[in-house]
Amino acid sequence: MDEIKLRAWWAHKQGLDGSLTGQSPAQVLEKTGWARSVAGVGPYLTIQSRSGASRAGIDQALTNVEIHELPSARGCTYVVGAADYALALKVSQGFADESAMKVARKLGVTDQEIGTLREKVCVALEKGAMMPDALKEAVGNASRNLGEEGKKKGITTTLPLALGFLQSAGGIRRIPVDGRLDQQRYKYALWRPNPLATCKLSAAEAYTELARKFFQWTGPATAAEFQWFSGLGVKAAKEAIAPLQLVDAGSGRLMTTEDHEAFAKFKVPSKPHYVLTSSLDGLSQLCRNSGSLVDAADLDRLAAFDQGGKAGASLMDLPGHAIFDRGRLVGIWEFDTETSSIVYMTFQKADKAMQQAIAETETFVREQLGDARSFSLDSPKSRVPKLERLRAMQAGRK
């Protein structure tokens, strides 16, 4: 398969070619995939890089519950469009919540105990949304501390267990206190109507629907890549994919018949189209196939930046925010809060079009986001070594 064409096609399917300009945040997520949410700027950059939406517009969509952060594939949090709430919740069940419960049972926590606590939480939330501390006080003795042993295992009290189950069941939702997706302070509220109330999909049907969306978002992709995204075992993943009757496009990569026909007619754009994304953008994150987006000639330079990382076909995750051109990784960037500017290094000389794309994203981050942290533990201080390497490597290529 033509590598250049494949990357450009992926970028096209992901809306990174300008084809989704002006679309709503919900439309972007429904067409290109759920945005991984780890208290970083990923969801903002995912939507802005495709549609040009402002932070205020994205936050308003969140306030209107047109998009929402919720447990989704593998039990991980993603920002999802309203049309996919039920599906996302359905495929989240049995992962993070059940995994935590298995640990809790070893600490003497019973299913009945958590069931009672869930009921108490719902009764408390009848009065309105609550912060965790207020909710803990409202449920009283129904929530208990699990002591030092629980602390060692990451479960301090039983309340998070109940909240996790209730979220996956669609009974409650977690709302950012300040209305922003890149923060970690939340309150909880009842979710009415429950998105799952009218969902008639069985678990098997839900995973087949997830597979259909996955291959529409990012195909051609391999069965193993869908297996990772869904969290299913090998056999279950194959069973979920089977009803779709996908076409093998080569190298084990599968795609829908419709996309296969469209791919055959697809032409790689002749002019560069630069776009800056987050390190968790769907172009690489949905399949964790970052190595497929890098030219062989650029791998050593990428490895030099990602000290201790693996840069090659096995590269799964991006070592920083990315600069893409028609699906090819052409640079890495981070935001320096000291200078309120983007610091970057590129695999080629930054032409005027690339410089303009960098300047536009820099303005968006500086004026609307304030920072561009990748995840909750990322901070201006922890980012300093990356910034230094970026500056040194970019100076070295001039």
Please give the pLDDT value at position 313.
52
Query: What is the mean predicted confidence (pLDDT) over 113-141?
Result: 97
Question: Which residue, among 138, 193, 191, has the nearest Cα to 166 in the 3D structure?
Answer: 191
pTM of the predicted structure, to 2 decimals: 0.95
pLDDT at 75 > cutoff 80: yes
Q: What is the mean pLDDT of residues 199-227?
A: 97
Strand arrangement of the beta sheet that strand 341-346 belongs to = 274-277, 321-325, 328-336, 341-346
pLDDT digits (tens, 9 = 90+) for 214-232: 999 999 999 999 999 999 9
Q: Measured between alpha carbons, how far is 247 from 137 in angstroms, rounded to an integer?
A: 55
Residues 6+ apart with CB under 8 A from 237: 211, 223, 224, 226, 227, 230
Q: How far apart are CA 90 and CA 109, in angstroms?
A: 25
Q: What is the pLDDT of residues 325-363, one digit of tens each?
A: 999 999 999 999 999 999 999 999 999 999 999 999 999
Sign of the C-alpha dihedral computed for residues 50, 309, 369 and 179 taken in this order: positive
Cα 196 to the chain's mean position, in Å? 22
pLDDT score of 309 more than 90: no
Give the Cα separation of 330 and 346 in Å (integer). 6
